[in-house]
Amino acid sequence: MANLSRVLSVLAAAAVGALVAWVLLRPAAPKLPDSATVVEQMREVARLETLDVALYKKVTFTPEPAATDALWKDVLLWASYTLQNPHGRAIVFADAHLGFDFQRFDASHLHASGTRVDVLLPPMEVRVALRPGETEIIDSNLDSAQTAQLLEKARLAFEQEVRQDTRLQEKARQSAERALRGLLLTLGFREVRFVDTLPLGAAG
């Protein structure tokens, strides 16, 4: 009996020692950063994740424009009603930039529960910039001011086209989500979800 008691005591001591060692040596729970730090780092990453798309369009303006594309009809009708016997052709090049407006992103767009975080992305932002060095006006009777107005209308038409292109917007969203998920995982979160709405009262 004495030997059995001794063996049990040794086993109990070993078990306690193993438990103490496990408690002392187990990985510490990740220390998650505060919301302000997360927001700032997400803004920095998002600035690098703008989707850039090169665009071009051949625009023709004549006395009786026949536009089949509703987005560009305004460009052609403007030339028809503004000029006497307007004529000419233009090949317009532009760059479209699609990204999320992270200037409007703050802690109210995040909800962390333990190591899980829900993210409500801000609105998509679309910007279009013409490339005047590559844009070519051909056989035109427009003066410089009229040309500038026509090009601005073309830029707005490009912008409307891009805003209605769900394929491009989805591509920009996926790119941003990949980059932001990677950032949040490196900050210590284990699960990142992009949601359309946050639970009422859960923001922050």
Other beta carbons less than 10 A from residue 149's beta carbon: 14
Per residue in 77-119, pLDDT tens? 666 666 566 666 788 899 999 988 888 888 888 888 888 999 9
Given a cut of 90, is residue 76 above it in pLDDT? no
Q: Is 94 helix (H, G, I), strand (E, B) or coil?
A: strand
Angle, helices 144-163 vs 70-82, to 10°: value is 170
Per residue in 149-194, pLDDT tens? 778 888 888 999 999 999 999 998 998 888 889 888 888 889 999 9
Q: Is residue 14 part of a domain?
A: no
Q: Is residue 203 part of a domain?
A: no
Looking at the DSSP assignment, which residues form a beta bridge with residue 92? 57
Q: Is residue 11 part of a domain?
A: no
Report the number of distinct structural domains present in the chain. 1
Residue 148 lies in domain: 31-194
Q: Is residue 18 part of a domain?
A: no
Q: Please, are residues 158 and 96 in contact by the beta-carbon 8 Å criterion? A: yes
List, in sequence order, every beta strand (DSSP E) within the chain: 51-61, 88-100, 110-113, 116-119, 124-130, 136-138, 191-194
Q: Is residue 71 part of a domain?
A: yes
Q: Is residue 2 part of a domain?
A: no
